[in-house]
Structure 1
């Protein structure tokens, strides 16, 4: 199936586009989300210098009907947002594209990586055009024989972790130092590595079961 990497420009009429442009250095990490034609709900991690001020600005939008703060500190807030304008989520769902979480919104843009049938990829472009959402195709790889084991971002973080000695014994770097070097939040780095490690281990165990016949266990 084709793999594609797209940068989507969220329309300025959508509240998260305006807020993220007002705080261009702040990252809005969408952890979970669902939407229908009228409403949307998203769990978002806000990463920046003043997440409290960002939350207050978000509350001011008429299209944000509810905002609940679950936890917050000087650099991070985790919130749940209900909105009446889930334009981006609706357009993606209408095209039949499964959304891999988490993804980030920054300065009015979101980058998505998808591996879907050609027909679905075409539908995505048509749906974005229909909603008036601008996008740029950064990369397309045709005729992928099988789904990639890891996403491009997972491969990058895992490769950097290996190269910087995170998996050495003793370790030559820590999770905090690795996250700082890659300019991502510690929680983001941990989650990406956890997902990548899980995929690699599952693939290894599956290959091992396929390659070796079952051996009956015996007691002494």
Structure 2
């Protein structure tokens, strides 16, 4: 199996057009492509910077000519869960026609969309990408190729991977940025290539504050990793 991580700009997608005009982002929770009706049905999480921006974004989405149906399932402050039906886009048709398939949820923000697309053969991949270039703007951000044993391992340990992912997502923006900068600058190397004082200067905060941010991020990631390891060991015993 070939798995592509694609940064895509479609020119006939309601979600992309909406995020172009409004400061709102969409993340797919569930989707189903009806090839006979040439429509895609999705459930998504919509998130904006404010309640007003959320309302503006949903109104713009409903009014898009390629939107068939858009309804709110739940809503709180600046976040909503929505259901939609849209006309099949050119990219969807191209991928489906050439034997491709969606392998993961997609995210849309700032007029761009992140797709995860799978193929069984190199020629299917090459043909699809060549056709996508005609009507879409895209770049392949990552490409992986898995054999049957690797795929089995991924599926068997999907719950452990999800637990680790959720631990990473639990980081606040400050914790994540502090953790990333510290790692990138060599804080965890031996010997260390940067110090707490230098990290404090980088973020313009106290040494104590940067230390606390690092400790919180380390604790969350470590707890998630240990939980994932425990789950993997339990699955092995079963």
Give the TM-score band, short-chain normalised: 0.5 to 0.7
| TM-score between both structures, scaled by the size of structure 1 | 0.63
SS at match of 1:89: helix
- Paired residue for 2:28? 30
Aligned counterpart for 2:116 among listed residues 113, 116, 135? 113
2:132 pairs with 1:128: yes
- Paired residue for 2:171? 178
Gaps of 5+ in 2: 178-223
Report the CA distance between 1:58 and its aligned residue.
1.3
- Paired residue for 1:41? 41
Report Cα offsets for 1:85-124 as digits up to 9, x if no partner: 4444333322333323422011222223345432432243
Aligned counterpart for 1:149 among listed residues 110, 134, 154? 154
2:10 pairs with 1:18: no
Paired residues of 1:35 and 1:89 also in contact (CA < 8 A): no
- Paired residue for 1:170? none
Q: Closer, same or farther in 2 for the Cα pair 1:103/1:115, shift >3 Å?
A: same
- Paired residue for 1:172? none
Q: Closer, same or farther in 2 for the Cα pair 1:159/1:143, shift >3 Å?
A: closer
Q: Which has the higher helix share?
A: 2
2:89 pairs with 1:91: no
Paired residues of 2:105 and 2:116 also in contact (CA < 8 A): no
Aligned ranges 1:166-205 → 2 under 5 Å? 178-180=171-173, 181-182=175-176, 201=231, 205=235
| TM-score between both structures, scaled by the size of structure 2 | 0.59
Gaps of 5+ in 1: 163-174, 184-192, 210-220
Aligned residues: 178
Mean Cα deviation higher: 65-74 or 30-39:
30-39
